[in-house]
Amino acid sequence: MKIKSNLYSNVIIGLFVFLLNMKRDAVAQDLHFSQFFNSPLSTNPANTGFIPNSDYRVGANYRDQWSTIPVPYKTTSVWADAQFLREKIPGGWFGIGGLVLQDAAGIGALKSTKTYLSIAYHQILGQSGLLSAGFNAGYVGKQINQSKLTFDEQWNGKFFDGGNISGEIFQNTSIGYFDLQAGLNYTWFPTDNIYLHTGFSMHHVNKPSESFFFSTNGNDNRLKIRSIYFADAIIKLNEQLIISPALYYTSQAKASELVGGIQLNFNVAQDGDQQFIAGFYSRKGDAFIPMLGYQWKGFRFSFTYDITNSALKNFNTGRGANELSLLFEGIVNPAYRTPTTFNCPRFGN
């Protein structure tokens, strides 16, 4: 299918150049999920509305990290997105969605809540390509419970006595700021059995200031831009097995993370309505991540367990994180649904 107009593709390519130019400024690490592939809107806003075999989807993620040591982290997200104007634009459509993330970290009860609205545009290129661009815009609120913190001047030689402090003065115990993210994806689908997907996104594009303290000497503690790169594939080997390798890399300031692995979907029903899922991933220098899951029609459940293989295993006995993902994909009205111009490999018809 050829594009009748180059307007949309020119806009997307222009955004791609803009993002590459901004990357030179990309240098504390944000929250993350081991199942990055099951958190599409937080991985890249260009994933919004990219649902080859459905009209909409709703998802939830929960991560409980380092529960065996005194500073656990609990992260929860809920999100939803849908296709929009797919029947009105030749070879293209919009995606709209929303994402809420909540994180509770450490004994200081540091909590953050992030709420984003997301929009993306998807344009078919030629017979086997798709280019996508998207934005997330939202508000971040953070709170800290100072009563749960202890400081060196409260140490009396035997224990923390809860006395007054003078060296750590909080200007605020709650803060908030506007946050902006942008991303691009490219998808290649040469046959009905092969699908390749890669993307790049940048978080904190506006470099918001985040601090509970007064600014001093011009230091307003602006967040560094976070870059995320990913690539994945879906390859249908036969009517019983689909394999999905994936690679994810993110960097922010001096922190970075590299995750890679593979997922296998086994068809346990003739029409593919029921699938058993097994996979294995690894986070470089940190953890091994086995995965199990099950899919029934539009519902999918998956569980991963981070087995720590870094020096931290001496303190958490190898128990890194439990992570759950729930996903539902649906079609508004199957009788009136116009087929997409490409299909992601799947079992059955």
pTM, to two decimals = 0.81
Does residue 343 sit within a domain? no
Distances from the Cα of 129 to the Cα of 16, 124, 132, 221, 342, angstroms: 16, 6, 10, 41, 9
The per-residue pLDDT for range 127-168, each reduced to its tens digit, is 889 999 999 999 999 887 776 666 666 666 666 665 666 556
Per-residue pLDDT of 198-211, as tens digits, reads 999 999 999 988 77
Rounded mean pLDDT of 334-343? 60
**C-alpha–C-alpha distance, residues 314 and 308, integer Å:** 9
Q: Which residues contact 17 (CB under 8 A, 6 or more apart)?
A: none
Cα gap 41→77, rounded to integer Å: 10
In a domain, 347, yes or no: no
User: With contact defined as beta carbons under 8 Å apart, do 42 and 59 qualify?
Assistant: no
Task: Give domain status of residue 148, yes or no.
Answer: yes
User: Exposure of 24 by Cβ count < 10 A (0-12 exposed, 13-18 middle, 19+ buried)?
Assistant: exposed
Residue 73 predicted with pLDDT over 80? no
- The CATH number of residue 30's host domain is 2.40.160.40
Concatenating the DSSP letter of every residue in 316-327 gives HTTEEEEEEEEE
Asked whether residue 341 is assigned to any structural domain, the reply reads no
Looking at the structure of the chain, the number of domains it has is 1
pLDDT digits (tens, 9 = 90+) for 14-35: 444 444 444 443 334 467 788 9
Percent of the chain at pLDDT > 90 equals: 46
If you average pLDDT over residues 88-106, what whole number do you get? 88
E strands along the chain, which residues? 56-65, 73-84, 92-105, 110-125, 129-143, 174-191, 194-203, 226-238, 241-252, 255-267, 274-283, 287-296, 299-308, 319-330
230-246 pLDDT, tens digit each: 999 999 999 899 999 99
Task: For residue 203, tell me if it sits in a domain.
Answer: yes
What is the average pLDDT value for the chain, to the nearest integer?
Answer: 81
Whether 14 maps to a domain, the answer reads: yes
The boundaries of the domain holding residue 94 are 7-336
**Predicted local confidence at residue 271, as pLDDT:** 79
- Within a domain: 2: no
Q: Is residue 346 part of a domain?
A: no
Which two three-digit tokens encode residue 269?
A: 């029903």
